[in-house]
Structure 1
Amino acid sequence: MTDQNENAAPAPEGVEELREATAEAAPEVAGQDRLRELEGELEEARKAVLYAQAETQNVRRRAEKEAADARTYAATAFARDILSVADNLVRALAAIPQELRDDEKMKGLVTGLEATSRELDSVFSRHGISKIVTDGATLDPNRHQAMFEVPTGDHAPGTIVQEVQAGYMIRDRLLRPALVGVAKAAD
């Protein structure tokens, strides 16, 4: 048996230097691969942090809006309940005949009821509660509820001709729709 190294042809010039350079470059190449891998992980981490920050900001904004809405519309349930009191006060004032309004014994009572009605309207106004205008308005299903139709040639179809019950808004939200009668074309 002969040794293969003895029979092998001598390595061409420079091959040994190439092997040494490759051996030296191998750790450098491996280091560059690791660097690229770490840069990729860093970029993913940056994206995750940005996403988390955006999500946190969205949650904060949502919470701020909900808190502002809660403050703005906190009185909604109470306001709905008090509307029946306002309706009854208006009905009571409308039911007083003129002869009782002129009677000296009743004048103080009527004046007190009218003052109470004005004060209630003032309180509503301070808290952003406003009456929905219906006189001659076109039916808006977001604010009005049609209770009946009135055949008439005096008004355009869809025009409100009678208010059965006043409607109210609390700022930009509907508190209670106005119950109305609507004109329709005469037969």
Structure 2
Amino acid sequence: MTDTETNTPAEDLREETAADAPEVAEHDRVAELESQLAEAKQQTLYAQAEIQNVRRRAEKDAADARAYAATNFARDVLSVNDNLERALAAIPAELREDDKFKGLVTGLEATGRELTNVFQRHGLTKIEAMGQPLDPNRHQAMLEVPSDAEAGTIVQEMQSGWMIKDRLLRPALVGVAKKPA
């Protein structure tokens, strides 16, 4: 082409597009990099949130382990407490007043009180059952007893129930009132 000749519109467009191509490619590259940066920021936020969640779970698990570490031991010692309570309940009133047995009874009662204090220090509490409505989360009904009490009320306790902190350690084994036929 000579200097005097004019370009056709198609040729002009090709020349403009060729001139704009580096700008368009650079703009596309910047947009792609910005997208990658936003994605990397989002992934970093997710990773930080996950780390925080893992840390919270680990702290909760450690706190639970400290609070409930004695659970199995406490269950085993409860049977000792049950036997001591049964032994004290089996002593007749006349033997409690007998000078020969008075010291033994006093010692057994003191042992029971000390065991109760140890339980309290370690977060064990006895579940009150007598006269309460049956709560399947804390009581285990063993039998129904004809009674004048309202149906579903606990009228007999065969074995005491216990909580360790806010968890059930052992349900109370109870007899529940039912209306006489």
TM-score, scaled to structure 2: 0.93
Q: How does 1:63-102 map to 2 (within 5 A)?
A: 63-102=58-97
Partner of 1:24: 19
Matched, 1:157 2:151: yes
Structure 2 CA distance for aligned equivalents of residues 156 and 97 of structure 1: 33
Shift, 1:105, TM fit: 1.3
Which residue matches 1:36? 31
CA shift for structure 1 position 83: 0.3
What's 1:118 paired with? 113
| Residue number in structure 1 paired with 2:134 | 139
Deviation of the 1:29 alpha carbon:
1.1
- Which residue matches 1:103? 98
Write out per-residue CA displacement over residues 117-176 of structure 1, whole angstroms, 9 at most, x where no aligned residue: 000000000100000001200000010000000122x21110000000000000110000
Q: Residue 13 of structure 1: CA displacement?
A: 9.2
State the Cα distance separating 1:10 from its structure 2 match: 2.7
Shift of 1:90: 0.3
Decide which of 163, 167, 172 is 2:161's aligned counterpart: 167
What CA RMSD, in Å, does the superposition of the two structures yield over aligned residues? 2.1
Q: Give the partner amino acid of 1:88.
A: N
- Aligned match of 2:51: 56
Over 2 Å off, 4+ runs: 12-25
Distance 1:91 1:13 in 2: 113
Letter in structure 2 aligned against 1:111: T
Question: AA paired with 1:99?
Answer: E
Unmatched segments (≥5 aa) in structure 2? none
Query: Aligned partners of 1:10, 1:92: CA distance in 2, in Å?
Result: 123
Could you tell me which runs of 5 or more consecutive residues in structure 1 were left unpaired when the two chains were aligned.
none
| CA shift for structure 1 position 25 | 2.4
Aligned equivalent of 1:129: 124
State whether structure 2 residue 31 is matched by structure 1 residue 47. Answer: no
Alpha-carbon displacement from aligned partner over 1:1-46 (angstroms, at most 9, x marks no partner)? xxxx58xx93259998876554332211110000000111111111
- The percentage of aligned residue pairs carrying the same residue is 68
Aligned residues: 180
The aligned residue for residue 5 of structure 2 is 10
CA–CA separation in structure 2 for the residues paired with 1:63 and 1:138: 38
- Name the CA distance, whole Å, in 2 between partners of 1:60 and 1:10: 76
